[in-house]
Amino acid sequence: MPQVAPENPYGYVPDDAICIMFIVLFAISSTTHLGQAFWKRTWFMIPTVVLSGCLEILGWSARLWSSKNILLSEPFSIQISTLIIGPTPLLAADFIIFGRLVGILGTQYSRLSPRLYARIFLTCDIISLVLQGIGGGWASSASNNGGDIDPGTNLMIAGIVFQLIVIVVFATLAAEFAYRFFNDSPFAKHSASANNRGDLSGKRKLALGGIAFTIVVLAIRAIYRVIELSQGWRSKLMHTQWLFGLFDSAMVILAFYCWNAFHPGWTVVPDTQYFNKEFSRSGSA
């Protein structure tokens, strides 16, 4: 085990066992998601959840690489960029799944149409991804060249804060929809279609619960990363390995396995071909 040097950018040596554990967990879940996407023809899960898993695997592989030579700049740079943006595509899956549930259960209970959930929140997700990606690249480049890392860090923070705001807005709209649905209280402008109420079957309850659970754990992760980055790269919080593992990747892996268990191919609608046709239409509109 190499000694922690003063130049160590982590403030600790990444633990091999922790790195391997997360690589294996993300690999199992991502491979399963890929198989489920082909089996249930839920193709949107590939550029969202599967992509997110690939980023997490790459990030933790880079941390494992760092454990062999803590002073190498390349693995440190890779893990900065990949682990900061990794959960963002995963969040997009929540937006898509919820939009489809709204279409099934009753658009009259929602402030937004299913198509607008795809348009608005996926756009916001892309903006957040770009901010975090540019910030992560900037910070890692500055770290390698001995430059000022603060501008890149601030951009990363801005991207995560924006993502957290998006999560809060989305959660508020979802909670309002659930309240109106369970109380059969449609918006007045949709009163004419109030009889188009879908059945909240047991499987669809699991999907709704899956959205609520994954939004909570991803919000916890976002809050942690905002606090961590705001305190700086030399802070005690940044240099505490178990906190990163618990409040970043453990939260993300919980969301991954949640959607393995409550996969939208069987919890949202039985006709998966119609499900993907509707998603493709809303995504291209």
Say yes or no to pLDDT of 146 above 80: no
What is the mean pLDDT of the segment spanning 6-20? Answer: 88
DSSP 106: -
**Residue among 237, 177, 186 at smallest CA distance from 211:** 177
Amino acid letter, residue 32 = T
Share of the chain above pLDDT 90, in %: 53
DSSP 118: I
Q: What is the pLDDT of residue 152?
A: 78
pLDDT beyond 80 at 207: yes
What's at 241, amino acid-wise?
Answer: Q
The confidence band for 284, taking pLDDT boundaries of 50, 70 and 90, is very low
Q: CA–CA separation, 134 vs 153, rounded Å?
A: 10
**Tens-place pLDDT, residues 248-281:** 999 999 999 999 999 999 898 644 443 444 444 4
Rounded distance, CA 75 to CA 62, Å? 5
Q: Is the pLDDT of residue 4 over 50?
A: no
pLDDT band at 144 (very low <50, low <70, confident <90, very high): low
The arithmetic mean of pLDDT across residues 125-143, rounded, is 80
| Cα Rg of the chain (Å, integer) | 20
| pTM score | 0.86
Q: Are 29 and 257 in contact (CB under 8 A)?
A: yes
Segment 53-65 shows an average pLDDT of 96
CA dihedral for 93, 90, 121, 47, sign (positive or negative)? negative
pLDDT (average), residues 109-128: 87
201 Cβ contact partners less than 8 Å away, ≥ 6 residues apart: none
pLDDT average, residue stretch 114-137: 85
Mean pLDDT on 79-91? 91
pLDDT confidence of residue 273 = 40
* pLDDT tens sequence across 153-168: 888 888 889 999 999 9
User: In the predicted model, is pLDDT for residue 143 greater than 80?
Assistant: no
Q: Quick check: 190 and 105 in contact, CB under 8 A? A: no
pLDDT of residue 54: 97
Q: Say yes or no to pLDDT of 283 above 70.
A: no
